[in-house]
């Protein structure tokens, strides 16, 4: 089967978490024997920021980790539609331009390619619904939503059974425990500052507990304003700037534990959606402690896959326990890793996608025969 995926960027993961998941899924689809192509707009802002900060060297880790993946750029909407012509399955990420999203829907209506799916991996459907309302999805066969709560939003807008839950997952080919144990020390947090929607939570569940527990904390990410950097300095936190996602397993391997601090929208408006870092951290066998988060879809086993803190004081207790209790660290790491390998790898998601596409194709055939 020929599969085309319209992404914001495949090469750049600068403030672009979907690139993590997409790389792993495309690699698995290739391994399953499918012809896969990634298509992205020329001059994407994620890639532009990466090159501005790090030059071509910023792409080295991606190219080394994914030598089998490439993407083709397009400058015009008509060119993009032509590139997808004849594909059996086309997926379009929600970071694409509304004009392109609409044009692909029109092309689907006239039979330019097969099944067309819209892939939503963000909270904009509830945080800025007016932006999502600008998308003309009338030509799409279905929605891929990265959590049940988000799928319900689409079902409420008339998509019904054509709104599918398609969670992110870990690229197990890259995210795995180190082959040989290395010395571990302190905490690591890999995440972007974003738009300040979890500033208070970061201080309550990460900065202050780490400091109170006497644990050094290393932070990697982008979009940290001066006020954020001042806060990090006040807590004695070591800020390292951007790190390529392909380097994350090595960073996890050198630390005792990591922390999950969900963005506020995934706690209040879209419960049950973890960030991809949860999947990736557990796949690397690093103990994880989380700020309050409702695993509404039972993706994991809280308390066994990771620890949950109801407040900052409990997070501090968890961090002290993780520091002092090697058996606890080993048990969490083993259980979390087993859960990922059993249910949450990019191979699992690739197979789920193929099942969704097959089901939609079967429906089309049945409707055509009636």
Q: What are the pLDDT digits (tens) for 244-293?
A: 999 999 999 999 999 999 988 888 889 999 989 999 999 999 999 999 99
The residue ranges of every structural domain in the chain are 2-169+345-369, 187-343
CB atoms within 10 A of CB 130: 7
The pLDDT of residue 43 is: 93
Instruction: Say yes or no: do domains 2-169+345-369 and 187-343 share a fold.
Output: yes
Lowest-confidence segment of 15-24, 47-56, 165-174, 186-195 by average pLDDT: 186-195
Closest CA to 295 of 305, 280, 282, 281: 305
| CATH ID of 187-343, from 3.30.450.20, 3.40.50.10490, 3.40.50.970, 3.40.50.2000 | 3.40.50.2000
Q: Span 316-339, mean pLDDT?
A: 98
Tell whether the model's pLDDT for residue 185 goes beyond 90.
Answer: yes
Tell me what percent of the residues of the chain surpass a pLDDT of 70: 98
The pLDDT of residue 195 is: 74
Q: Span 117-124, mean pLDDT?
A: 95
Tell whether the model's pLDDT for residue 205 goes beyond 70.
Answer: yes
- Which DSSP letter does residue 203 get? I
Q: Span 288-317, mean pLDDT?
A: 97
Return the structure tokens found at 107.
């092309």
β-pairing verdict for 35-41 and 2-6: parallel
Tell me what percent of the residues of the chain surpass a pLDDT of 90: 90
The pLDDT of residue 268 is: 87
The pLDDT of residue 303 is: 97
* CATH dotted code for 2-169+345-369: 3.40.50.2000
Residue carrying structure tokens 């506020």:
264
The pLDDT of residue 264 is: 86
The pLDDT of residue 292 is: 94
């Amino acid at each position: 089967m020929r599969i085309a995926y319209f992404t914001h960027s495949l090469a750049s993961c600068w403030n672009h978490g979907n690139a993590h998941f997409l790389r792993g899924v495309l690699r698995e689809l290739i391994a399953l024997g499918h012809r896969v192509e990634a298509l992205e707009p020329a001059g994407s802002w994620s890639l532009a920021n990466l090159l501005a900060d790090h030059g071509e060297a910023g792409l080295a880790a991606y190219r080394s980790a994914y030598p089998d993946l490439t993407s083709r750029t397009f400058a015009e909407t008509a060119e993009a539609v032509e590139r997808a012509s004849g594909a059996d399955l086309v997926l379009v990420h929600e970071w694409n331009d509304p004009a392109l999203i609409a044009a692909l829907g029109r092309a689907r209506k006239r039979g330019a390619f097969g099944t067309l799916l819209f892939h939503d991996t963000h909270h904009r459907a509830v945080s800025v619904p007016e932006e999502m309302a600008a998308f003309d999805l009338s030509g799409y066969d279905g929605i891929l939503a990265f959590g049940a709560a988000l799928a319900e939003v689409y079902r409420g807008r008339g998509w019904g059974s054509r709104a599918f839950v398609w969670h992110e997952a870990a690229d197990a080919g890259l995210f795995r425990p180190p082959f040989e144990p290395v010395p571990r020390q302190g905490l690591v947090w890999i995440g972007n500052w974003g738009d300040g929607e979890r500033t208070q939570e970061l201080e309550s569940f990460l900065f202050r507990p780490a400091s109170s527990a006497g644990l050094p904390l290393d932070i990697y990410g982008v979009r940290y304003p001066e006020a954020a950097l001042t806060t990090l300095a006040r807590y004695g936190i070591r800020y390292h700037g951007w790190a390529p996602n392909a380097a994350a397993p090595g960073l996890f391997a050198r630390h005792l534990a990591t922390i999950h601090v969900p963005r506020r929208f995934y706690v209040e408006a879209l419960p049950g959606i973890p960030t991809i870092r949860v999947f990736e951290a557990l796949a690397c066998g690093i103990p994880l402690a989380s700020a309050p988060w409702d695993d509404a879809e039972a993706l994991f086993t809280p308390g066994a896959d990771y620890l949950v803190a109801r407040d900052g004081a409990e997070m501090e207790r968890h961090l002290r326990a993780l520091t002092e209790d090697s058996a606890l660290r080993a048990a969490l790491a083993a259980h979390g890793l087993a859960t990922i390998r059993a249910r949450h790898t990019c191979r699992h998601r690739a197979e789920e996608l193929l099942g969704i596409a097959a089901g939609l194709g079967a429906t089309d055939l049945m409707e055509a025969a009636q």
